[in-house]
Structure 1
Amino acid sequence: MNFEEKTLSEKNVFDGKLIKVAVEEVETPKGLKAQREIVHHAPAVAILALTADHKMILEKQWRSPIHDTTLEIPAGKVDSRDSRDALHAAKRELNEETRLKAGTIKKISSFYTSVGVLDEFMTLYLATDLTPVENKLPQDRDEQLVLEKVTLDEALKMIGEGQIEDAKTIMAIYYWRGMTNHG
């Protein structure tokens, strides 16, 4: 079965600092015309940072789209400072947001964050053997973060109680639980 839609036209309707929004007119495989609204976003990274005492680092921060604070793992976009290298971006974001560096950092998975509307492609890393950085990179001036450290049991409870609702963070916690259960 053919699923591919043919793009008939694309109009850019917004070009911002973080995203671009386009409206596409498409023809479906059944020959129907439809409209698709697409948010273009740079690739991104997220880091499951685990301390020597078996705690994960979470960041509490305000998120304007939901008008609330969230608890999330460190994350950010891959930008010109990274030469399109997601691993470099993960190391940079870990430095900027936590002031730590990882002795060991490995890729867990890559995924699309919300395929129905957004083309953001995120890579999740596991960072261990954490130590303070020697050279602190500049932090985003419009970002206010408070770091928290929680155990796996605390993190799982926080998901169950609705204190953690961020998808990448939930994915990281469940990965951590799988690591713990399977070595």
Structure 2
Amino acid sequence: MTDDPLHEAEIDSESVFEGALLKVRRDRVQLPDGTLAYREYIRHPGAVVIVACLGDGRLIFERQFRYPLRRAFLELPAGKIDPGEDIAGCARRELREETGYEAERWHHLGVMHPCIGYSDERIEIFLAKDLRHVGHAWDEGEFLEVHLLGVDEAVTAVHDGRITDGKTIAALFRALPLLQESAR
């Protein structure tokens, strides 16, 4: 039990849908005032996002098609955590697979929760430095373009609407103080 006065206690839970990536649940909960309500939400295995910084200060982005919105987005490299995989290993794997780069130095910057109203997804944020290109290893059916942007150009792209992906915005701004410190 929790002593948080806003806590909602699960009474029972049912599976609504189980897909390859997402699982939808419907729970009956007791609200803080004692009344009952339903909560529908998505279970997600978690993911990583990587702010990968080249020696010249440029950042590695990728452009890929995102089916739910039927268009391509400019975003930082990211990917789903596999069952049993540690987050640092996932970050290393995703950076290599998607961009063809490996990093010598890694910094875990924290976690973000992109969809707290309807999903338990968490995204672990990493900064990768001292990169070397070794060649990509895309998954079957994965198509993307690698783009390089300076830090100022990336921030401008957020403000002018070229970058709208939430994980990219959060990770970029989480890493920004370290990126600016490195540029000095």
TM-score by length of 1: 0.91
Root-mean-square deviation (Å): 1.6
Measure the CA separation in 2 of the matches of 1:158 and 1:126: 19
Aligned to 2:102: 101
Aligned residues: 179
Q: Aligned residues: percent identity?
A: 34
Q: CA deviation at 1:77?
A: 0.9
CA contact 2:151–2:179 (8 Å) conserved in 1: no
Q: CA deviation at 1:88?
A: 0.3
Partner of 1:101, secondary structure, is strand
**Structure 1 segments (4+ residues) deviating >6 Å:** none
TM-score by length of 2: 0.91
The one-letter amino acid paired with 1:159 is V
Measure the CA separation in 1 of the matches of 2:16 and 2:172: 37
Measure the CA separation in 2 of the matches of 1:120 and 1:92: 19
Measure the CA separation in 2 of the matches of 1:180 and 1:110: 18
The one-letter amino acid paired with 1:66 is L
The one-letter amino acid paired with 1:174 is F
Specify every segment of 5 or more residues in structure 1 that has no aligned partner in the other structure, as ranges: none
Residue 35 (structure 1) aligned to one of 31, 35, 38: 38
Q: CA deviation at 1:180?
A: 4.2
Partner of 1:104, secondary structure, is strand
Specify every segment of 5 or more residues in structure 2 that has no aligned partner in the other structure, as ranges: none
**Aligned ranges for residues 94-133 of structure 1 at < 5 Å?**
94-133=95-134
The one-letter amino acid paired with 1:155 is A
Are 2:52 and 1:53 equivalent residues in the alignment? no
**Aligned ranges for residues 76-91 of structure 1 at < 5 Å?**
76-80=79-83, 83-91=84-92
Partner of 1:116, secondary structure, is coil
Are 2:149 and 1:146 equivalent residues in the alignment? no
CA contact 1:106–1:125 (8 Å) conserved in 2: yes
CA contact 1:152–1:176 (8 Å) conserved in 2: no
Measure the CA separation in 1 of the matches of 2:95 and 2:13: 37
Aligned to 1:171: 170
- CA 1:86–1:5 in structure 2 vs 1: closer, same or farther (change >3 Å)? same
- CA 1:92–1:181 in structure 2 vs 1: closer, same or farther (change >3 Å)? closer
Measure the CA separation in 2 of the matches of 1:106 and 1:180: 12
The one-letter amino acid paired with 2:40 is E
Q: CA deviation at 1:97?
A: 0.3
CA contact 2:127–2:175 (8 Å) conserved in 1: no
Measure the CA separation in 1 of the matches of 2:43 and 2:158: 29
- CA 1:106–1:57 in structure 2 vs 1: closer, same or farther (change >3 Å)? same
